[in-house]
């Protein structure tokens, strides 16, 4: 059974919905999944400034925070983050910055990695966010598994680097079939490559 860690940050629930879809698909495919949000580090006044942010914190308050051990445990790692000025959210990057001890022992190497993101606009930096995360994976000696155009769904969502959902003008557009198909393909492919490596 492939062990998959889905580690993500979400302020207002979009990336959380993407992470949950990926987890559901991975479990159906027979993987053992740890779905872990990265803990909130924004000042309380920032959280309180948006109802959706307050609501999302409440929704996940009883769920476990991501720990470095989740990556140590995993064979396959899927990372999710909102796009923030074309990069990963600082909350996620802060978690990544706690991984030095694992990295120095080579314990992040030789696993398969991929990533997904959300942004308000279609050309708002999804690709730079994903590529920035992939630079981290390269430093770890991770095996990056981009989706490329290896499935018809990629010609619909058009993102060969990972998966990106566009939240739209009101910043709250729900996932559509194209997002779900692309997430399903990303996670299925990641598990497939992990299984082939383990064989
Ligand atoms: C500080 C900040 C920076 C953002 N930067 C971008 C950006 O560069 N491009 C973009 O399209 N959307 C940007 N957004 C919108 C977020 O990407 C969007 O709210 C997020 O994907 C929603 O995910 P969540 O619901 O999981 O938090 C930004 C939002 C914030 C708060």
- Mean pLDDT of all residues belonging to the chain: 98
Q: How does strand 32-37 pair with strand 76-84?
A: unpaired
Q: How far apart are CA 193 and CA 199, in angstroms?
A: 10
Nearest CA to ligand 1 atom 2: 84
Per-residue pLDDT reduced to its tens digit, 27-61 = 999 999 999 999 999 999 999 999 999 999 999 99
Nearest CA to ligand 1 atom 4: 84
- Centre of ligand 1 to C-alpha 4, Å, is 26
| 35-47 per-residue burial string, b: 16 or more CB within 10 A, e: under 16 | bbbbebeeeeeee
Per-residue pLDDT reduced to its tens digit, 63-109 = 999 999 999 999 999 999 999 999 999 999 999 999 999 999 999 99
Nearest CA to ligand 1 atom 29: 84
- Centre of ligand 1 to C-alpha 16, Å, is 13
Among residues 9, 84, 81, the alpha carbon closest in space to that of 41 is found at: 9
Q: Any residues with Cβ below 6 Å from ligand 1, and which?
A: 10-16, 82-86, 118-121, 124-125, 167, 171
Cα dist from 39 to 78, 104, 117, 162, whole Å: 17, 23, 17, 23
Residue 20: pLDDT band (50, 70, 90) is very high
Per-residue pLDDT reduced to its tens digit, 122-171 = 999 999 999 999 999 999 999 999 999 999 999 999 999 999 999 999 99
Q: Which domain holds residue 191?
A: 3-198
- Centre of ligand 1 to C-alpha 112, Å, is 26
Domain count, the chain: 1
- Centre of ligand 1 to C-alpha 81, Å, is 9
Question: CATH number of the domain that 99 lies in?
Answer: 3.40.50.360
Residue 3: pLDDT band (50, 70, 90) is very high
- Centre of ligand 1 to C-alpha 88, Å, is 10
Question: What is the sign of the dihedral through the CA atoms of 163, 31, 74 and 145?
Answer: negative
pTM of the full predicted structure? 0.98
């Amino acid at each position: 059974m492939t062990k998959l860690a889905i580690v993500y940050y979400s302020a207002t629930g979009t990336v959380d919905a993407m992470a949950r879809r990926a987890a559901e698909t991975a479990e159906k495919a027979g993987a053992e999944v740890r779905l872990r949000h990265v803990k909130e580090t924004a000042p309380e006044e920032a959280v309180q400034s948006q109802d959706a942010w307050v609501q999302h914190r409440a929704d996940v308050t009883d769920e476990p925070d991501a720990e470095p051990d989740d990556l140590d445990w995993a064979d396959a790692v899927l990372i999710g983050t909102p796009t923030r000025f074309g990069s990963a959210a600082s909350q996620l990057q802060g978690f990544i910055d706690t991984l030095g001890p694992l990295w120095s022992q080579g314990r992040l190497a030789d696993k398969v990695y991929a990533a997904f993101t959300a942004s308000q606009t279609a050309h708002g930096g999804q690709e730079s966010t994903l590529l920035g995360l992939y630079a981290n994976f390269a430093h770890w000696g991770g095996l990056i598994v981009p989706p490329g155009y290896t499935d018809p769904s990629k010609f619909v969502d058009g993102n060969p680097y990972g998966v990106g959902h566009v939240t739209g003008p009101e910043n709250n557009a729900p996932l559509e079939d194209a997002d779900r198909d692309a997430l399903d393909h990303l996670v299925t492919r990641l598990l497939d490559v992990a299984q082939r490596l383990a064989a």
